[in-house]
Amino acid sequence: MVPSPYPEGVAKKRKQPRQSGGTPATVLLDKAGVAYSVRAYAHDPRATNYGTEAAQALAAEPGQVFKTLLIETDHGLGVAVVPVGALLDLKAAAAALGAKRATMADPHLAERTTGYVVGGISPLGQRKRLPTVVDVSAQGRPTILVSGGRRGLDLELAPDALLALLAASYADIARRS
């Protein structure tokens, strides 16, 4: 079991599995015994920048909130997890996944492959486990926020726990503005 990154009394691992209403991401975390916190907010259906919306609604700095992006490489699909205030460096992401080049995956393909809708794609609990790389800026943070599997739902957890669950790695894949 991964130790809790939270101070005593702030957030504890659930003792019993969630009842209906959980997402594949929360089911995975519960099954693995990983400590996490659910951070829900009222999603505005007019929003187009889902990551920025989440950061603002949760009063979190954009460097703590991460977006999940699907990319197509010459080896197949992959997942890149970067801060919402940054852009993905496709060349760096491709290299981190052992590929020569990458492009953004078609949104419909991303939804079919992950089982989630765009704006709610979680790196956790996807239909098919894909090679994943997380921007190095997550490393050393006590917690980060990632999508919980639907718009308006984020999960706060230790970045090392995320990496362990996904067999992912850290790499410098974000371009800061």
pLDDT tens by residue, 152-177: 999 999 999 999 999 999 999 999 76
Whole-angstrom CA distances from 136 to 34, 64, 144, 148 are: 21, 12, 12, 21
* Helices and strands in the chain: count of H runs, count of E runs: 5, 10
3-state secondary structure of 83: strand
Q: What is the pLDDT of residue 49?
A: 85
Rounded to two decimals, the pTM is 0.86
Beta-sheet pairing, 174-176 with 86-88: antiparallel
- Which helix (H) or strand (E) covers residue 26, if one does? helix 24-32
Statement: residue 90 has pLDDT above 80: yes
Please tell me what DSSP assigns to residue 118: T
Q: What is the mean pLDDT of residues 83-96?
A: 96
